[in-house]
């Protein structure tokens, strides 16, 4: 599927950005944009009918986000080739994306050639990571910054997610059917494990690691 025409699907909620993709990609012979979606749900639906050779996927989108869309598409077609193209210059997001089944991760700050190169690499079966993310990943390894998901147990992670999403300790206790005391204990333990002193730092860490996206906060 490399030698001749390759069908590509674009997924991004910003029309102007899709216009940009198209402008960059159509300069490459052998690439055709056959479908466009503006959120994760539409991406999944269109993928099944269009069966593109490659998906270029944004992460931050309304409703079903990019990570979840990658997961669903890969579940439907284990061989799907998905290249994540996002503004998030963040090792945490990259790890999540690759784990979800993406074949590449390129940031939007990258020059167009990097995108084209990544498209070609992924089509050729390779994994494509843009240089800035390579660097981020290297740094996070060197500094031993264990991504929250690793150091926390499943339960702790669940509590953290609720702490960031819900309002009070008592509400979380009710959701989990445990005593408020337990939630408070977990809350404290989480801050300890993550090495933060205050809730504010906790939120900042979560944002940095991509546990929370800025759009999640709007619908509070």
Partner DNA sequence: CAACCGCCGGGAAAATTTCACGATCTTGCT
Partner DNA sequence: AGCAAGATCGTGAAATTTTCCCGGCGGTTG
137 in Cβ contact with 94 (< 8 Å):
yes
Enter the DSSP assignment of 114.
H
Min dist. Cβ of residue 61 to a second copy (A)? 10
213 Cβ contact partners less than 8 Å away, ≥ 6 residues apart: 59, 60, 65
Three-state SS string across 51-112, please?
Answer: CCCEEEECCCCCCCCHHHHHHHHHHHCCCCCEEEEECCCCHHHHHHHHHHCCCEEEECCCCH
Site string for a second copy, 37-56 (x = CB under 8 A): -x------------------
Q: By CB under 8 A, is residue 218 in contact with a second copy?
A: yes
Angle between helices 40-50 and 66-76 (to 10 degrees): 30
Q: How far is the CB of 210 from DNA (least distance, A)?
A: 21
The backbone torsions φ and ψ at residue 80, rounded to the nearest 5 degrees and listed phi first, read -55, 140
| 112 to 131: interface string for a second copy, x by CB under 8 A | x--x----------------
- Which of 111, 141, 179, 201 touches DNA (CB under 7 A)? 179
The item of DNA, a second copy, none sharing an interface with residue 186, based on CB under 5 to 8 Å by kind, is: DNA
Contact window for a second copy (CB under 8 A) among 64-72, 95-103, 175-183, 203-211 = 203-211
Query: Applying CB under 7 A, which residues contact DNA?
Result: 153-156, 169, 176, 178-179, 181-182, 184-188, 191-192, 197, 199
């Amino acid at each position: 599927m490399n030698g001749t025409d390759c069908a590509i699907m674009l997924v991004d909620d910003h029309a102007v950005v899709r216009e940009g993709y198209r402008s960059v990609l159509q300069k490459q012979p052998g690439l055709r944009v056959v479908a466009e979606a503006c959120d994760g749900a539409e991406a999944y639906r269109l993928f099944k009918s269009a069966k593109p050779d490659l998906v270029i996927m944004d992460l931050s989108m309304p409703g079903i986000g990019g990570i979840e869309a990658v997961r669903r598409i890969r579940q439907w077609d284990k061989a799907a080739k998905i290249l994540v193209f996002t503004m998030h210059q963040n090792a945490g997001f990259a790890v999540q994306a690759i784990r979800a089944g993406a074949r590449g991760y390129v940031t939007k700050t990258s020059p167009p050639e990097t995108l084209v190169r990544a498209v070609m690499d992924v089509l050729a079966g390779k994994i494509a990571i843009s240089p800035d993310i390579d660097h981020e990943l290297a740094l996070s390894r060197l500094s031993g910054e264990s991504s929250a998901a690793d150091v926390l147990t499943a339960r702790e992670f669940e509590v953290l997610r609720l702490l960031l999403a819900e309002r009070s300790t008592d509400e979380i206790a009710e959701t989990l059917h445990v005593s408020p005391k337990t939630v408070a204990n977990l809350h404290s333990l989480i801050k300890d494990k993550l090495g933060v002193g205050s809730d504010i730092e906790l939120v900042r860490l979560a944002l940095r690691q991509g546990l929370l996206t800025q759009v999640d906060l709007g619908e509070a």
